[in-house]
Amino acid sequence: MAVYTQVSAEEMGVLLARYDAGTLVSAKGIAEGVENSNYLVDTTTDRFILTLYEKRVDVGDLPFFMKLLDHLADAGNPVPRAIKDKQGVQIQQVAGRSACLIEFLSGVSVSHPTAPQARAAGAALGQMHKALDGFEGARPNTMGIGDWHALAARCGDDLDAIAPGLGARVADELTYLDQHWPTDLPRSVVHADLFPDNVLMLGDQVTGVIDFYFACTEIRAWDVAVTHAAWCFENDGSGFHRDRSDALIAGYEDSHGLSPEERAAFIALARGACLRFLLTRAWDWLNTPADAMVTRKDPLAFLRRLDFYRDAPAGSLID
């Protein structure tokens, strides 16, 4: 479920009156997602998403996210803008939460991408990276390599309760990444969470890229590595799909491209991507009661991916 905060029809009506967006016809809570409360809002003139920002989004970051989405949309990327009210305001207060009325984009997210869909996702990522070259906004990555030691320490011995030996495996990986993490690759603002559930598609076309709430300034190729780890395996981390991998990288090459230095660092970046999601999932796993309404995501799905990248011969994935 992802409706933590209830919004009454009266509150919804008061909100819509601030906009040139028609009057309320219906509003339904959206079940998908775990971070924020989302409603599908139909008015007499249009359809919108109403997002209320919950615990994980720092409201101080919202102006950065709005500027980023406006910049990407202006450059022709299929990302949803936050609608401006009659006064030009994008960030509102609804039911005690910061909230935005957001453009609705059509399409559905795929759970088992085909190679053509992976290619389209790679191309969409490259187009965004092109548009972000020179973008002036910046936001530190709060889930980057500098944060993984502390996150692992916070999980502590409980990692072994998820899987025997996981704590030692994480410690070894941190040592490897500290020694092999690239320091001189180009950086830019990146999406940082381009999983299939954050890409809306119609057939093989990308119709929407959503959920920019982890967007940050990072090594640009890390975004490719995150996307690769998210798209090229079975959801439980087993079964690497070589066809999706080739297609994803070909799509990215079509629209942006990787330098030889980025290619050389790709496996280390992908191992870092796996560790990031392993650790954040492990933390959530340990701190979300098993009977909570939110579905916990399996940290071991990223341990399996990590093992795959660790064992992949250098240059075997993207050459």
Ligand X SMILES: Nc1ncnc2c1ncn2[C@@H]1O[C@H](COP(=O)(O)OP(=O)(O)OP(=O)(O)O)[C@@H](O)[C@H]1O
Ligand Y SMILES: N[C@@H](CCO)C(=O)O
Asked if 49 interacts with ligand X (CB under 6 A), we say yes
Which CB atom, from 78 or from 122, has the smaller least distance to ligand X? 78
Question: Which residue among 297, 298, 310, 312 contacts ligand Y (CB under 6 A)?
Answer: 297
Q: Shortest distance, CB of residue 301 to ligand Y, whole angstroms? A: 8
> What does 208 bind: ligand Y, ligand X, none (CB cut-off 5 to 8 Å by kind)?
ligand X
Q: CB of 207 within 8 A of CB of 77?
A: no
Q: CB of 15 within 8 A of CB of 100?
A: no
Which CB atom, from 101 or from 124, has the smaller least distance to ligand Y? 124
278 token code pair: 């392993």
31 token code pair: 């079940």
Q: CB of 241 within 8 A of CB of 232?
A: yes
Asked if 182 interacts with ligand X (CB under 6 A), we say no
> What does 280 bind: ligand X, ligand Y, none (CB cut-off 5 to 8 Å by kind)?
ligand Y
Site pattern 144..163 for ligand X (x: CB under 6 A): --------------------
**Residue 121 is which amino acid?**
A
DSSP class of residue 317 equals: T
**Of residues 167-226, those binding ligand Y (CB under 6 A):** 193, 195, 214
Spatial neighbors of 44 by CB under 8 A, at least 6 apart, are: 22, 23, 25
> What does 281 bind: ligand X, ligand Y, none (CB cut-off 5 to 8 Å by kind)?
ligand Y
* Torsion, Cα of 74, 80, 84, 90 (10° steps): -110
Question: Which residue among 71, 263, 281, 304 contacts ligand Y (CB under 6 A)?
Answer: 281
Task: Name the segment binding ligand Y (CB under 6 A); options: 58-66, 91-99, 107-115, 277-285.
Answer: 277-285
Asked if 82 interacts with ligand X (CB under 6 A), we say no
Task: In whole angstroms, give the CA distance from residue 110 to residue 283.
Answer: 26
Tell the burial category of 273 from Cβ atoms under 10 Å away from its Cβ (0-12, 13-18, 19+).
Answer: buried
Task: In whole angstroms, give the CA distance from residue 210 to residue 77.
Answer: 11
| Of the candidates 253, 127, 240, the residue with the CA atom closest to the CA atom of residue 191 | 127
**Of residues 21-40, those binding ligand X (CB under 6 A):** 30, 32-36, 38
Residue nearest to ligand X (CB): 33
Which residues are paired to 101 by β-bridges?
Answer: 50
DSSP H or E segment with residue 94: strand 92-94
Task: In whole angstroms, give the CA distance from residue 149 to residue 178.
Answer: 10
Question: Which residue among 113, 208, 237, 299 contacts ligand X (CB under 6 A)?
Answer: 208
Task: Name the segment binding ligand X (CB under 6 A); options: 134-142, 145-153, 204-212, 304-312.
Answer: 204-212
Task: Name the segment binding ligand X (CB under 6 A); options: 103-111, 136-144, 248-256, 263-271.
Answer: 103-111
DSSP class of residue 156 equals: G
Q: Shortest distance, CB of residue 33 to ligand X, whole angstroms? A: 2
Asked if 210 interacts with ligand X (CB under 6 A), we say yes
Q: Which residues bind ligand X (CB under 6 A)?
A: 2, 30, 32-36, 38, 49, 80, 102-105, 109, 197, 208, 210-211
Q: Which residues bind ligand Y (CB under 6 A)?
A: 193, 195, 214, 277, 280-281, 297
